[in-house]
Copies of this chain bind each other. A is one copy, B any other.
Amino acid sequence: MIHTIAFDADDTLWHNEIIFTDTHERFRALFDEQCDPERVAKELYATEIRNLEIFGYGIKGFGLSMIETAIELSEGKVTGAQLQGILDGVKAMLAAPVNVLEGVTETLKELSGDFELMVITKGDLFDQETKIARSGLGDLFRHVEVVSEKSPAHYRTALHKYNLDPARFLMVGNSIKSDVLPVIELGARAVHVPYQTTWQHEVVAEEEYADVRFETLRSIRELPALVWSLHTA
């Protein structure tokens, strides 16, 4: 019997990747007279991934990576206007309206009567907390846990923290790599609800999970039926 249903936040409860995609595009536009757009995109992604180890996930680290890429691409001749454009982009991302995905509010409300709901998300603590507050969904969650990474060990710590039994725990998220595989590895259940696009860094080759069995839903609206089917199985 499922007791707790945990949701990833970005691109599971609300749009997020699109904000990064927009910022990437605006970043490319800042350099379109100096550099080939493909090169800009490639350099930015390379800097971002290289810096994950020191910055972790989140918008502020991404902002610092944009500035570093700008210095490199311009060979140190980045202009004040370009820099200001980057900083404005970072602030716009942090203040962006939280657009809850279609079907999420109704589904969470329906489930909250019978199950304990929580959020497990990675990224900047401060940014994630303000997004939950701005989403209007905050009251539906018993717990909110922001983690620095979504490895099996991080999930184990989170479950332990709230005294949750893996056998009665279900994770719901858009990333097979972060929301599904590590949770199944712990002996808990996970459901995949894909978002329209996936950040390159979260893409995992199909061969890597050929033997892992999990459900993929077309919409979060299918979640209640799935949860109840687990109950009666």
A residues near B (Cβ < 8 Å) are 54-58, 60-61, 63-64, 67-68, 71, 74-81, 83-84, 87, 90-91, 94-95, 124-127, 129, 143, 146-148, 161-162
Q: Identify A81's interface contact among B56, B67, B76, B84, CB under 8 A.
A: B76
Known contacts A78-B80, A80-B74; decide if A126 and B68 are in contact (CB<8 Å): no
Q: Identify A75's interface contact among B64, B80, B143, B161, CB under 8 A.
A: B80
A67 touches B87 (CB 8 A): yes
B56 touches A124 (CB 8 A): yes
Copies in the complex: 2
Interface of A is mostly: helix
Q: Identify A68's interface contact among B60, B87, B129, B161, CB under 8 A.
A: B87
Shortest distance in angstroms between A127's beta carbon and chain B's nearest beta carbon? 7
B129 touches A148 (CB 8 A): yes
B55 touches A60 (CB 8 A): yes
Q: Identify A83's interface contact among B57, B58, B67, B124, CB under 8 A.
A: B67
B55 touches A83 (CB 8 A): no
Contact partners of A57 in chain B: CB under 8 A: 126
